[in-house]
Amino acid sequence: AVAKIGHAWGVDTTRLREGLPLIRYLPGAPPVGKHGDEDRHGVVPNATLVVYLTAADAAASGPSGQTLFPEAGVSVTPQPGAILSFQNVDGAGAPHPKGKHLVSAVPKDAAGDRLVLQIPIAHAEGVAPYAYPEHVSGNKKPGEHEKLHGNADQKAAYQAAVAAGMSIAVAFMAAKSGKFNPDAEEELKKLAQESGKFADADFDTKAQ
């Protein structure tokens, strides 16, 4: 499959040997708000490929797990094996005005998880286009992705922090690390402050 992606899109897929960026949405997962893709360094990939591994569940409010582009008037319903590709930047290299998108919720009674591979493509000057293994779901706060889509340890760490009455910032950092100990509150708070991604209110508001 990786070789086919490289051939079809004319990109170097060597970096994907490090692993494939899988995103898992459990039944009951809330919608992902409108955002533009960027990596953990704030770099916007030239394009993104979304490989759908599961189908949408029928829901009263419409198909679940759709990818929606409001400015472009486009909605894509997941079908196993289908690939969605879209540009994140325009011809001048600026964020594309129609590239922002959102993902609809997965209902609690969904038959299964929503699984996708998200593959960003970069095309730096003087370098052949290449795909790389990183989640690029917008400018999330550290631990926000792990809270929603992380492994069992990461989700358990977040819930433990919530039960202990921790702030949003501390709970998110616990999710990112995959463990929580009340004695580590100050350490987690310091890490959150150093990230520069949290607002003052995130340190005062309890996570839930």
Q: What is the 3-state secondary structure (H, E, C) of 15-42?
A: HHHHCCCEEEECCCCCCEEEECCCCCCC
**pTM here?**
0.69
Can you tell me the distance from the alpha carbon of 159 to that of 178, in angstroms, rounded to the nearest whole number? 11
Q: Tell me how far CA of residue 126 lies from CA of 123, 130, 175, in angstroms.
A: 8, 12, 38
Kindly state the tokens that stand for 181.
Answer: 């100990």
| Predicted local confidence at residue 61, as pLDDT | 62
For residue 115, the model assigns a pLDDT of 94
Q: Per-residue pLDDT averaged across 81-89, rounded?
A: 94
59 vs 137, more confident = 137
For all residues of the chain together, what is the average pLDDT?
88
**Which tens digits make up the pLDDT trace of 143-187?**
887 787 678 899 999 999 999 999 999 999 999 999 999 999 999
Which domains are assigned to the chain?
2-131 (2.60.120.620), 144-204 (no CATH)
Over the stretch 32-66, which tens digit does the pLDDT of each residue have?
A: 878 888 876 778 899 999 999 999 887 656 678 89
| pLDDT at 138 (0 to 100) | 67
Band (139; pLDDT cuts 50, 70, 90): low
Dist CA 88 CA 47 (whole Å): 5
Average pLDDT, integer, range 189-202: 87
